[in-house]
Amino acid sequence: MAVMAVKMFVLPKINAALKAGFPLPTLKGFRLINSQLLIKNGFVAIFTDVQDSLTGI
């Protein structure tokens, strides 16, 4: 019964809130480039390169 309530009420609200997405935290002077998102059963992995805005490396 609890599982059914979660599927019917909780998950739709969570999915609606996450649909818009959320910004990843970054440090000032750096930016994320060549980012990739890997979605697997039970987890999400984010791969990215970091570029320094001062040196471009």
DSSP secondary structure of 9-26: IIHHHHHHHHHT--PPP-
Calpha distance 56→37 (Å, rounded):
23
Instruction: Look at residue 24 in the predicted model and tell me its pLDDT.
Output: 72
pTM of the shown model:
0.45
Sign for the CA dihedral angle at 17, 18, 19, 20 comes to positive
- Per residue in 1-52, pLDDT (tens digit) is 788 888 888 889 888 888 888 777 778 888 888 999 999 998 889 999 988 8
Instruction: Look at residue 56 in the predicted model and tell me its pLDDT.
Output: 61
Q: 24, 42, 20: which is closest to 32 by C-alpha?
A: 24
Helix, strand or coil, per DSSP, at residue 27: coil
57 pLDDT tier (thresholds 50, 70, 90): low
